[in-house]
């Protein structure tokens, strides 16, 4: 993929290109960005630019000249969009360039088999082409890891050392893209010397969600590249262009996705589900129809997958946020008539403080679902809390 294909991050893309063209490129870059910000596709596009943009000297020097003179050779590089038709880029775009290497969390498929990335390269190419904004959970599901925990193993570290010890085949750079270095255990210490003193023209691009779980010894050897969350405008524009959504629908989903393009794609996937009716049924069961109705509703929602449960909760959360905006600002928001009607109705039974308390509970529920909480217990407990928050005007903050 070309840098222009990456959603948003325009300032960061320009910064990366200037680092190359001004010959200020560090040998180890750590891209740190939250889920859905595009840190992985950005790093891959940058790696493809590096191996596809051959450096040339703009002056001819005597190879037997003074070493200081040789060090002053001036290199020029192709512009990012100019590489699209180069054979090297075509290979890199298919993730088959001999100087472009990848490392990522994997599993041991068979007893006695080495746990290395090379065993999963076909799946990796398909995953990057189809789900570049996916997270590590998506990847492990894609390779059918089931209950196995992915990791970057000691065998993988040995493979990295071996691959990068060879000279580059055709590019001025050898580039390793390591996705999720958080999955490196103590085995990662084997790479310290390689990262600190790499072979000539070797570039490490590490891509992480958070530096907190990365070995400090690796962090200290990397230059940080902070990848911010995407703006609502960037996500809405991408949804209009790529998913062919209407501007109104794209803006609604962008606002709900919280700068996470992966989340936006999941919201599209589940947008046909009538979450609004489910919310109405839940509130009626909590406030009017009693415990039996609530238990029936909980049984139904617990049958949904975790991702769909998360989308439902985030959708409810977004509606409550719009309700607060209407109540406080009296804003004439560009909402669907049904959504606006819901917001007005819930404002009649709950104040701003109560809505904020419910939003806190919804946020916590998303967190627990991501960590495999029991759905029946979680939704039943939320229903009880919502009853007290609304009926008894009690703000439950535990």
Rounded to an integer, what distance in angstroms lies between the CA atom of residue 218 and that of residue 257? 32
| DSSP assignment string, 101-150 | EEE--B---STT----GGGGHHHHHHHHHH-TT--HHHHHHHTT-TTPPP
68: which residues sit within 8 A by CB, 6+ positions away?
A: none
Which helix (H) or strand (E) segment is 208 a member of? strand 202-208
> Which backbone phi and psi does 378 adopt, to 5 degrees?
-65, -50
Rounded to an integer, what distance in angstroms lies between the CA atom of residue 394 and that of residue 398? 12
Half-sphere exposure (CA, 13 Å, Cβ side) for 277?
Answer: 4
Walking along the chain (398 residues) 10 residues at a time, the average pLDDT comes out as: 92 91 87 94 94 58 45 60 87 93 90 89 94 89 83 91 88 91 84 86 92 86 93 94 88 83 81 73 88 91 82 84 78 63 82 88 89 90 90 54
Largest Cα span, the chain: 90
Query: What's residue 54's pLDDT?
Result: 65
> Which backbone phi and psi does 384 adopt, to 5 degrees?
-65, -45
Rounded to an integer, what distance in angstroms lies between the CA atom of residue 376 and that of residue 397? 21
Rounded to an integer, what distance in angstroms lies between the CA atom of residue 353 and that of residue 328? 11
Query: What's residue 59's pLDDT?
Result: 41
Q: Where are the domains of the chain?
A: 3-228, 270-391
| DSSP assignment string, 212-267 | GGS-HHHHTTSEEEE-PPPPHHHHHHHHHHHS---HHHHHHHHHHHTT-HHHHHHH
Per DSSP (E only), the strands in 17-107 are 28-32, 56-57, 75-76, 100-103
Rounded to an integer, what distance in angstroms lies between the CA atom of residue 312 and that of residue 236? 20
Strand-pair partners of 206: 30, 178
Q: 3-228 has which fold?
A: Rossmann fold (3.40.50)
Rounded to an integer, what distance in angstroms lies between the CA atom of residue 304 and that of residue 310? 10
What is the pTM assigned to this prediction? 0.74
Query: What's residue 71's pLDDT?
Result: 46
Query: What's residue 291's pLDDT?
Result: 87
Query: What's residue 398's pLDDT?
Result: 38
Rounded to an integer, what distance in angstroms lies between the CA atom of residue 23 and that of residue 16? 11
Q: What share of the chain is helix, strand, coil (3-state, %, to 5)?
A: 55, 10, 35
């Amino acid at each position: 993929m070309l840098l222009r294909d990456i959603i948003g991050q325009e300032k960061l893309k320009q910064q990366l290109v200037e680092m190359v063209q001004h010959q200020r490129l560090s040998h180890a870059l750590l891209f740190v960005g939250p889920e859905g910000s595009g840190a992985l596709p950005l790093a891959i596009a940058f790696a493809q630019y590096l191996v596809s943009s051959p450096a040339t000297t703009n002056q001819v020097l005597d190879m037997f000249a003074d070493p200081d003179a040789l060090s002053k050779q001036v290199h020029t590089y192709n512009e990012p969009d100019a590489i699209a038709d180069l054979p090297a880029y075509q290979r890199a775009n298919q993730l088959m360039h001999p100087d472009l290497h990848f490392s990522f969390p994997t599993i041991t498929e068979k007893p006695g088999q080495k746990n290395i990335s090379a065993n999963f390269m076909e799946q990796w190419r398909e995953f990057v082409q189809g789900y570049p904004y996916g997270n590590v959970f998506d990847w492990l599901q894609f390779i059918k890891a089931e209950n196995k925990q992915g990791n970057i193993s000691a065998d993988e570290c040995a493979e990295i050392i071996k691959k990068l010890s060879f000279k580059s085949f055709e590019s001025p750079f050898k580039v390793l893209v390591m996705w999720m270095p958080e999955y490196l255990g103590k085995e990662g210490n084997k790479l310290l010397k390689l990262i600190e003193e790499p072979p000539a023209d070797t570039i490490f691009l590490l891509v992480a969600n958070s530096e907190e779980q990365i070995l400090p010894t690796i962090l200290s050897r990397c230059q940080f590249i902070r990848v911010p969350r995407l703006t609502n405008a960037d996500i809405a524009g991408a949804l209009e262009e790529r998913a062919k959504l209407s501007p109104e629908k794209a803006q609604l989903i962008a606002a709900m996705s919280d700068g996470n393009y992966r989340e936006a794609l999941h919201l599209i996937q589940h947008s046909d589900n009538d979450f609004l009716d489910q919310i109405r049924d839940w509130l009626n069961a909590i406030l009017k129809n009693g415990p039996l109705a609530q238990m029936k509703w909980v049984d139904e929602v617990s049958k949904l997958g975790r991702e769909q449960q998360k989308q439902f909760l985030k959708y409810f959360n977004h509606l409550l946020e719009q309700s607060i905006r209407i109540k406080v600002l009296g804003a004439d928001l560009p909402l669907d008539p049904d959504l606006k009607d819901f917001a007005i109705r819930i404002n009649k039974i709950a104040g701003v403080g109560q809505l904020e308390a419910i939003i806190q509970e919804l946020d916590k529920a998303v967190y627990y679902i991501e960590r495999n909480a029991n759905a029946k217990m979680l939704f039943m407990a939320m229903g009880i809390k919502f009853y007290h928050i609304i009926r008894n005007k009690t703000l439950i903050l535990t």
